[in-house]
Amino acid sequence: MPKKSKKTPSKKYSSAKKGAKSTTKKKVEIDITKHELVPEHILLSEEEKKQLLKELGIKLGDLPRIKINDPAIKHLNPKPGAVVKIIRKSITAGEYVYYRVVVEE
């Protein structure tokens, strides 16, 4: 007479999974710009960009860079060479503003 095997809960679960149908996963997109830790990003106009560079006395290449595919600026549809104004909240300064130039990958 064959032995009757007792399945443990984990074995029951795994055997149930074997017969489960696979489903396609949907890509979930999250708007990270709404997250409290992501600072505000603003695309400057050409006029604002020229004025900024003149005020700071720098060239475009002197600014720190941000990649064109950065999730925080994708929604702005920037072009390489565009300048992004980033406004961060600071406990000590209230708000801290800095700028980055958009570059290709």
21 domain-assigned: no
14 domain-assigned: no
52 domain-assigned: yes
19 has a pLDDT exceeding 80: no
Q: What residue numbers bound the domain in which 90 lies?
A: 36-103
Burial 78-94 (b: 16+ CB within 10 A, else e): beeebbbbbeeeeeeee
The number of distinct structural domains making up the chain is: 1
* CATH number, residue 41: 3.90.940.20
45 domain-assigned: yes
Q: pLDDT for 37-58, tens place per residue?
A: 889 999 999 999 999 999 999 9
76 has a pLDDT exceeding 60: yes
The reported pLDDT for the residue numbered 31 is 79
